Structure 1
């Protein structure tokens, strides 16, 4: 099959080269778990979920037989991320809970927090988020998941502290700016700057989230009428 000239996507070509390189790395060093993890993670990002799962399962068979605990921890994390991505959240949680490698602990607690958030179990999400935060206090992703879970629980004052901690060093996050704006609306603080920043940083995110603003404004108006 001849390739049409002028219609080649350079990004796609680069990705295919990277996949090919990682496949070769596995063939040359089938005893190195990182090669399987890297390829499985790349396939997950490319939405090639079936191949990613098959690869992780193959790697599990190899490294479980060797009794290699470090390798199993890494593979549990990689397959957990795949299951999280495709919505098999309970399976992902089981895998994250198996991880006992200190190097992966903060990441696995963060993913547990995000998994429970996906399930709408916000108190568990906060608990795992706080555990992750003890290991990595300045991580914006961890602060975000705690802030978002507290926001969902209606704990606006507490959520504010976590969003402010992120914005101090990472003002370029549209999701943080937007949610901080929501908190400001509820607490009766100036909020327009936060929302304007969110809109400027990521217009698509802003428009997708606009309905939440309308819902909050309606809820606040209803509360004021009762008062």
Structure 2
């Protein structure tokens, strides 16, 4: 397996997939190898093959949580969110898995079912209060719900954890802008640390600035 992983890491993806398929023919009980192959295929956006592999593996090993999680993640990556939900929900009910709760929150967020998303995201954040992704996700969901005051609390926590993270700086800056606080330093730092992210999301900043100006004019 190490040689296969080394090939993948070196960028020889086709050879790594071919070797791993051969490996599984000789080691059909290796659950981790199924998950790894599915991850390879998902990364290559070969969702159909990855799904077929995992469905076959789950027929053979129906109680393997790692396979269920991999399939849920595959559906999430393929934007088949409705198919991902029951898989992550099953894992949450069976084991209260933090990873599954986080993915369930992410999935509900993508489905714009933000009150449900928030419930699971807050559970993860309470269990792992110093995890960057959990604080960022709670902040994202609260922002989508229009609760910028609460959002800034979690984004500030994320900023404490990762003070040079461009995405966090940008999103915290947005909450400051909406709340009438000084936002410019955060946008400048976001532009410095993550110029591509800033460029990609600049329209969101322009839209909010336009909304704030229109609101002032009405007042």
Q: TM-score, with normalisation over the residues of structure 2?
A: 0.89
Between 49-58 and 19-28, the greater mean CA deviation after superposition: 19-28
C-alpha offsets along residues 190-224 of structure 1, whole Å, 9 cap, x if unaligned? 11121112212222221121111111111111211
1:169 corresponds in structure 2 to 161
Tell me the CA shift for residue 21 of structure 1: 4.2
Q: Distance in 2 between matches of 1:48 and 1:172?
A: 34
Tell me the CA shift for residue 49 of structure 1: 1.1
1:47 corresponds in structure 2 to 45
After superposition, the Cα gap between the structure-2 partners of 1:128 and 1:23, relative to the gap in structure 1 and judged at 3 Å, is same
Tell me the CA shift for residue 127 of structure 1: 0.8
Whether 1:141 and 2:141 are equivalent positions in the alignment is no
Whether 1:81 and 2:73 are equivalent positions in the alignment is yes
2:107 corresponds in structure 1 to 115
Q: Distance in 2 between matches of 1:124 and 1:76?
A: 21
Q: Is contact 1:106-1:133 (8 Å) kept?
A: no
1:6 corresponds in structure 2 to none
Tell me the CA shift for residue 118 of structure 1: 0.8
Q: Is contact 2:130-2:161 (8 Å) kept?
A: no
* Residue correspondence of structure 1 range 31-70 to structure 2 within 5 A: 31-64=29-62, 69=63
After superposition, the Cα gap between the structure-2 partners of 1:171 and 1:20, relative to the gap in structure 1 and judged at 3 Å, is farther
2:6 corresponds in structure 1 to none
Q: Which runs of 5+ in 2 are unaligned?
A: 1-8
Tell me the CA shift for residue 136 of structure 1: 2.1
Please identify runs of 4+ aligned residues in structure 1 that moved more than 3 A: none
Whether 1:129 and 2:121 are equivalent positions in the alignment is yes
Structure 1 residue aligned with 2:14, among 10, 13, 16?
16
Q: Distance in 2 between matches of 1:215 and 1:52?
A: 39
Q: TM-score, with normalisation over the residues of structure 1?
A: 0.86
1:191 corresponds in structure 2 to 183
Q: Which runs of 5+ in 1 are unaligned?
A: 1-9
Structure 1 residue aligned with 2:83, among 75, 88, 91?
91
C-alpha offsets along residues 101-149 of structure 1, whole Å, 9 cap, x if unaligned? 54x7111111111111111122111111011223322211111111001
Q: Is contact 2:47-2:74 (8 Å) kept?
A: yes
Q: Distance in 2 between matches of 1:101 and 1:138?
A: 25
Whether 1:214 and 2:206 are equivalent positions in the alignment is yes
Q: Secondary structure, in 3 states, of the residue corresponding to 1:98?
A: helix
Q: Distance in 2 between matches of 1:177 and 1:78?
A: 31
Tell me the CA shift for residue 175 of structure 1: 1.6
